[in-house]
Every structure is written in structure tokens, then in C-alpha cells.
Amino acid sequence: MPTLYIIHGYDAAPSNHWFPWLQDQLATLGVACHILALPNSSQPNLNAWLTKIEQSVAVHDEDVYFVGHSLGCITVLRHLERMDQTIGGVVLVAGFAGAVPLLPQLDEFTAQPLNTAHLRQLIKQRSVIAADNDATIPFALTESLSQQLDAQFLIVKNGGHFLLGEGFDTLPVVLDELRRMFELARLKSPTHP
């Protein structure tokens, strides 16, 4: 069965937004889901966040999936850049790989270009989700991320930044994407009849 890790964003925590809902939904599917608590999220440090992920994710294989939100997306990708093992997939919500004009304090995460060729090889299934009215992360940055990763790109009308304060304590589009990925992986499995 798949194992999934949720990586939260800037100034967030595991109990925020739609993360607990997604964990509960995945539990009903028999998927082990871990919401990592990244250190000092109001003043994030890339190396500290990467260390936490490395300490928390024991295995990287085709049954492993990541969901990232906002700053969590580039953090997932920075982590995976260091890996050589293929993983099942990523769903990246309101992500970015370039500098965010309103948030220069996050520039450390985007200072170096991503090794997108390596990431495309490593991550079997890739989806990026954006809102058409995100006031935090410009739409063009999330669209660019999807293009760099050659990812499925889904646009949610009036999604904002997918925050609890905007009404997002659930996010079915993420669950739908994960279900689609799990099913595709099952069908492609050599043990599938």
C-alpha cells in the first residue's frame, strides 16, 4: 500500500488547513499518511526543513507519495533532488520554484534552479494544482512549476491560497488526484492480473 507524506508551508502546522481531513480520508483507503511538523515554520530554514524530512522518511520507493502546500512544494522537490530512488508521485498545491515577490524571506528555497530533468525521471506521477485567484503566490509561478516538471496542471476557480481562513478545511481535488495516481500505479504494477 502507498505511504504518503504531507509537507506544510510557511507559517503553517500539521493541524492547519485541509491536512487533517486528507489524512483521515487516506486512512479510510488504507494509506499510511504522515503530516510532518517542520521546524520554526514562521522563520523557515531550508537545511533544517530538509533535515527533518530526511529524518522522517525512512524509505523512498514507488509506493511513496508526497503532497506539498505552498513552500512545502519546493521543499519536497529540494528533498527529492538529493535522492536517486524513484517515487510514486507528488501533488503540489499552490507551489512555486521562483522568487515570490511578496515573500523575499523565502528566497533561500528558490535561489538555485531546480534539477527538473532529474526530478521528472525520479517522480513517476506529477500533479500541480493552482487557483485562478491566489493572492499569495502568483498564478504564473505555479503554472511555470507545472511546466518545468511536465506535470498535470489543474486550476481551481476561486481557490485562493487553499487556506483554512479562505474556507478550505477539505480539498477534494487533492484526494481525487491521489486516487487517480494510486489506481494508475496499481494497473501498471507487474503483479496486477
Catalytic amino acids? 70, 134, 161
Half-sphere exposure of 32 (CA within 13 A, CB side): 6
In total, the chain counts a number of residues equal to 193
Q: What is the DSSP secondary-structure string of 64-87?
A: EEEEEETHHHHHHHHHHHT--S-E
Measured distance CA(98)–CA(107) in Å, rounded: 8
Among the listed residues 33, 23, 114, the one whose alpha carbon sits nearest the alpha carbon of residue 75: 114
